[in-house]
Structure formats: C-alpha cells, structure tokens
C-alpha cells in the first residue's frame, strides 16, 4: 500500500533517480516533463504520467519540482498549466531546483496567496547522490511545513537542514556551489602543477587526500581528472548558472564575490570551447590548456 501521493515535475539527470527513490519508499508518484521520453521511462519504472504540471498537482497534495533554473521554476509553478493551476488550498509545493533566492521568494509569495505551502529545497550531491539517495538538502520555509515533509524528503537524501525562511535554502546552495567550484579549480591547478613538474598526479592525489587538503570534492573529482573522464555528473553549464545566481545575489546583498567571479569566467570559457555539457571536474581542462599539459595519460 502506497505511503502517499507525490507529484514530480522535472525528469532530468537528477529528477529520474529521485523519483525512483520515492517509489522504492512506497510512494505513488505522478510525473511530468516536457520531454515525453523521460515520462515514458518513469512510467516503465512504475510512475503514473500526467500531461502537464497542473495535472500533476491535481493528482497529489505534495508536488516536487526539479528544473534547471529560475525561469523554468517560475514557469512550472506559476505559469500557464503550471503547478498552482492544479493545486488546492492546503497543498504543498517543494521546489528542489537550484535557483536564485529572489525567485524562490517570488514563488513562495504566490503560493501563500493561493493558500499553498511552499519550501525551497535545493540539493547537493550530483547524480551519484541522487541515485544513492544521499543528497544534502538545504531548505527554506516554515518549520511546520519542513517538519511535516521531513520523512518524505529523507527517502532521497542523507541530510536535510532547515536554513531559514523562504530563499534561505537557495542561498545556502549558492554558498555550497562557490566552495565546490573553488575546490575543483584548486585541485585542477594542483594536479597540473604535479604533471608539469614530472610527478605522477595519482601519487600526489594519494599523498594529500588524507591530509587537510582532503575533501569530498577531491575524492570525487580527482579520479575523474586523473583518468580523463569528464562524463557529466553535474554539468559545467549548470554550475555556471549557479555562480551567476550567486553573483546576482551578492550584488543584491552587497557581498563582493571575487573568486566566484573568476570561477564563473573559467566556466564561461569552457562553455565557449564546447564543453558546457562536460562534468564540472573539466574545470581542470582550463588549467591544462594554459599549461600545455594533460593530467591524464589516457
């Protein structure tokens, strides 16, 4: 017997495994995506399909959205045939997209005016975390809404933290993305230095990963750089989007973000080089190109 009805809008690289984890936890899930093949794939796995975000909302008291950026979130929730058209008073919308905090606050206000609960709940952990159900979820919204949805969110995550009111989840996610970009860039520079100096990058990685420089970023992205495997877990184009939102937010609140600006420019250069759909570990390609060396021998 199903634990409850959940609606899910957005079946990309993150959304699909998140839906699968909800179904594994015995939730009945109705899905929608603009890509019909993605809907068909989820139906094959046991989900029910809808023809619009509004129809998803008509079928479930809780609707999760997982789309690329602020315009898509606003369209999916506030737009024609959007989630709010199908919800009723007392329903809950949880936007797990990584978007600008100001956009989350705009959506929250519209939801409140319709008598609908709202949480902004972006995630970190990439495709691996989505598949394994170990995502870190950063939440903005009302504590009572957070508490009532905690168990359901736990089926997709390893940690869930209420960070503050509306928009706080996405502000926290932006802070996360700044740190991740900085870590990857520093790791790329370090391994390029090792390679250019005639030292095996694998040896350097093994020597330092247990020390203060060690991190989840290093353990995840270092092997990708060393093997030359940049298949996307989290795409460069999406990380650039996050840093763009961070810079806009920094401007709004008066916080200079110098390193973030540099990292965003590196990502922009890689996108111009045709690498926007590579994993963000390919930040190392920028350092490799400047040094005229490849970290990987493959």
Calculated CA dihedral for residues 114, 149, 159, 156, nearest 10 degrees:
-100
Taking the alpha carbons of 218, 219, 225, 231 in that order, is the dihedral positive or negative? negative
Rounded to an integer, the average pLDDT of 247-261 is 97
Closest CA to 62 of 105, 124, 139, 3: 3
DSSP run (H or E) holding 95: strand 92-95
**Domains of the chain listed by start with CATH number:** 5-165 (3.40.50.720), 172-291 (1.10.1040.10)
Q: Quote the distance between the C-alpha of residue 72 and its chain's center.
A: 14
Tell me, what's the pLDDT at 61? 97
Rounded to an integer, the average pLDDT of 48-56 is 98
Tell me, what's the pLDDT at 298? 79
User: Are the beta carbons of 60 and 37 closer than 8 angstroms?
Assistant: no
Rounded to an integer, the average pLDDT of 158-168 is 98
Q: Which residues are catalytic?
A: 173
Q: What is the pLDDT of residues 33-42, one digit of tens each?
A: 999 999 999 9
Q: Quote the distance between the C-alpha of residue 274 and its chain's center.
A: 22
Mean pLDDT over the full length of the chain: 97
Tell me, what's the pLDDT at 17? 98
**pLDDT above 60: residue 187:** yes
Tell me, what's the pLDDT at 126? 86
**pLDDT above 80: residue 45:** yes
Measured CA to CA, the distance from residue 287 to residue 190 in angstroms comes to 9
Q: What is the pLDDT of residues 64-94, one digit of tens each?
A: 999 999 999 999 999 999 999 999 999 999 9
**pLDDT above 80: residue 2:** no
Confidence of residue 218 (pLDDT cuts 50, 70, 90): very high
Tell me, what's the pLDDT at 28? 97
pTM: 0.92
- Percent residues over pLDDT 90 in the chain: 96
Tell me, what's the pLDDT at 108? 98
Q: Provide the β-strand partners of residue 137.
A: 123, 160
- Residue 225 burial (CB count, 10 A): 30
Tell me, what's the pLDDT at 255? 97
For 1, 66, 86, 193, 194, the CA distances from 13, given in Å and listed in that order, are 28, 10, 25, 33, 33
Confidence of residue 3 (pLDDT cuts 50, 70, 90): confident
**pLDDT above 60: residue 1:** no
- Residue 216 burial (CB count, 10 A): 11
């Amino acid at each position: 017997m199903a634990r409850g009805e959940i609606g899910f809008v957005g079946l990309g690289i993150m959304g699909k495994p998140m839906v699968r984890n909800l179904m594994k936890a015995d939730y009945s899930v109705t899905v929608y995506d603009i890509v019909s093949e993605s809907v068909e794939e989820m139906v094959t796995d046991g989900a029910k399909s809808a023809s619009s975000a509004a129809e998803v909302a008509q079928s479930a008291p809780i609707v999760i959205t997982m789309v690329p950026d602020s315009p898509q979130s606003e369209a999916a929730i506030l737009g024609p045939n959007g989630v709010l058209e199908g919800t009723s008073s007392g329903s809950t919308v949880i936007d797990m997209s990584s978007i600008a905090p100001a956009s989350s606050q705009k959506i929250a206000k519209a939801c409140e005016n319709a008598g609908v609960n709202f949480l902004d709940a972006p995630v970190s952990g990439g495709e691996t975390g989505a598949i394994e159900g170990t995502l870190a979820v950063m939440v903005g919204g009302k504590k009572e809404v957070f508490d009532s949805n905690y168990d359901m969110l736990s089926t997709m995550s390893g940690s869930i933290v209420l960070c503050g009111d509306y928009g706080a989840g996405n502000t926290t996610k932006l802070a996360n993305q700044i740190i991740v970009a900085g870590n990857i860039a520093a790791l790329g520079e370090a391994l390029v230095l090792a390679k250019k100096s005639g030292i095996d990058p694998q040896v350097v990685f093994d020597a330092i990963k247990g020390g203060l420089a060690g991190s989840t970023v290093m353990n995840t992205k270092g092997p990708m750089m060393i093997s030359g495997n940049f298949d996307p877990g989290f795409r460069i184009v999406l990380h650039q989007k996050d840093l763009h939102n961070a810079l806009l937010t920094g401007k709004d609140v008066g916080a200079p973000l110098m390193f973030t600006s540099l990292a965003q420019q590196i990502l922009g250069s890689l996108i111009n080089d045709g690498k926007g759909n590579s994993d963000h570990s390919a930040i190392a390609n920028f350092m490799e190109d400047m040094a005229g060396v490849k970290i990987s021998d493959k």
